Amino acid sequence: MNGKPDGRWVTETLYEGDGFTCAFRADKVLYEENTAEQHLVIFENGLFGRMMALDGITQVTERDEFIYHEMMTHVPILAHGKVRRVLIIGGGDGGILREVARHKAVEKITMVEIDPAVTEFAKKHLPQVSAGTFDDPRLDLVFADGAKFVEEAGESYDVVIVDSTDPIGPGEVLFREEFYRAAKARLAAGGVIVTQNGVPFMQGAELASTIGKFRRLFRVATCYMATIPTYVGGPMAMGWGTDDESLASLPVSELQERFEKARISMRYYTPAVHHAAFALPRYVLDLVENA
Ligand code: SAM
């Protein structure tokens, strides 16, 4: 099916087993395929614009993707302050790549995506998400399993961004301790790893599991939060693992200085929002502290 008007509804399957779904009307299905890795559909919705779902789980929407991509990228990069090499695991739609590429001081971006179809069809049907950055000369795009990639010896990175699907299907390996351990081995001294860790009000066990593993690997194991409307159920958590205790509590003044030096216009991120994102509500603090 390609481009025909279609009044069908695409159901969010992430919480189906728990008795909750929601649905997005597909006014027009732009592309749909069972790739070698997962079911992929890209469609147009009246409220959120063009959207992509993988295995029935909302991945990216034109309307609110800026929140997730800005917060997953600029928080670790501006907190670190001297990022030159970034590793993106997953991120096939190119939204994280677009935000990383805005940092002119970054010299090398390695992106490891398991499913070439995601990149191919996102470039074609969601071009504004990657905004041409797949042609960035700093990019080394690798189509492989991110868990296998980090196992191999290779260059080190100042920031690792795990922009994965949820721990279902191909994404499941990206939530295992051996992946985090291998990813840590690819972190340069003082580096930081951030992970897509779902909506803790709905998927608290997933966050606790990651933080528990981070706690065995890093001196700092916590998360920060941002609310993406189409990741239903409340604010989502972005896992944070690093051996540098200072990075999660930089003063707003310091973040402001770095933000101004980076000269990047944002739609969600501000230094004050960055700082505040690490202030966790009690129920999330409980998940993190008891992980
Ligand atoms: N922003 C979305 C979210 O928060 O759920 C994630 C977006 S991005 C589309 C997720 C990407 O992870 C997909 O392109 C998927 O193919 C990729 N992925 C899943 N498992 C992977 C693996 N083991 N190695 C590399 N990429 C993987």
The CATH number for 56's domain is 2.30.140.10
Same domain? 46 vs 72: no
Distance in Å, CA 118 to ligand 1 centroid: 9
Pocket test for ligand 1, best of 164, 180, 227 (most atoms within 8 A of CB): 164
- For residues 229 and 195, membership in a common domain is answered with yes
CB neighbour list of residue 279: distance below 8 Å, 6 or more residues apart? none
Bridge partners of 194, per DSSP, are 161, 240
Residues identified as active-site? 163
Residue 15 lies in a domain: yes
Structural domain span for residue 138? 65-289
Residue 1's pLDDT is what? 43
Residue 119 and residue 94 in contact, taking contact as beta carbons nearer than 8 Å: yes
Is residue 52 domain-shared with residue 71, that is, in the same domain?
no
| Ligand 1 lined by 130 (C-beta under 6 Å) | no
Ligand 1 pocket mutation pick from 37, 113, 197 by most atoms within 8 angstroms of CB: 113
- Residues 41 and 69 reside in one and the same domain: no
Rounded to the nearest angstrom, the distance between the alpha carbon of 260 and the centre of ligand 1 is 31
Distance between CA atoms of 144 and 141, rounded to whole angstroms?
9
Q: Is the CB of 59 under 6 A from ligand 1?
A: yes
Co-location of 53 and 179 in the same domain: no
pLDDT in tens, 57-72: 999 999 999 999 999 9
CA atoms within 13 A on the CB side of 82: 4
Identity of residue 215: R
Burial 20-53 (b: 16+ CB within 10 A, else e): eeeebebeebbbbeebebbebbbbbbeebebbbb
Whether 277 maps to a domain, the answer reads yes
Residues 48 and 158 in one domain: no
Task: State the Cα–Cα distance between residues 112 and 3, nearest whole angstrom.
Answer: 29
Our CA angle for 274, 276, 279, nearest 5°, is: 130
93 & 150 share domain: yes
Q: Is the CB of 145 under 6 A from ligand 1?
A: yes
- Same domain? For 98 and 55 the reply is no
Looking at the domain assignment, is residue 3 inside a domain? no
pTM here is: 0.96
Same domain, 239 and 140: yes
For the stretch 140-149, pLDDT in tens is: 999 999 999 9
How many independent structural domains does the chain possess? Answer: 2
Q: What is the pLDDT of residue 48?
A: 97
One domain for residues 186 and 215: yes
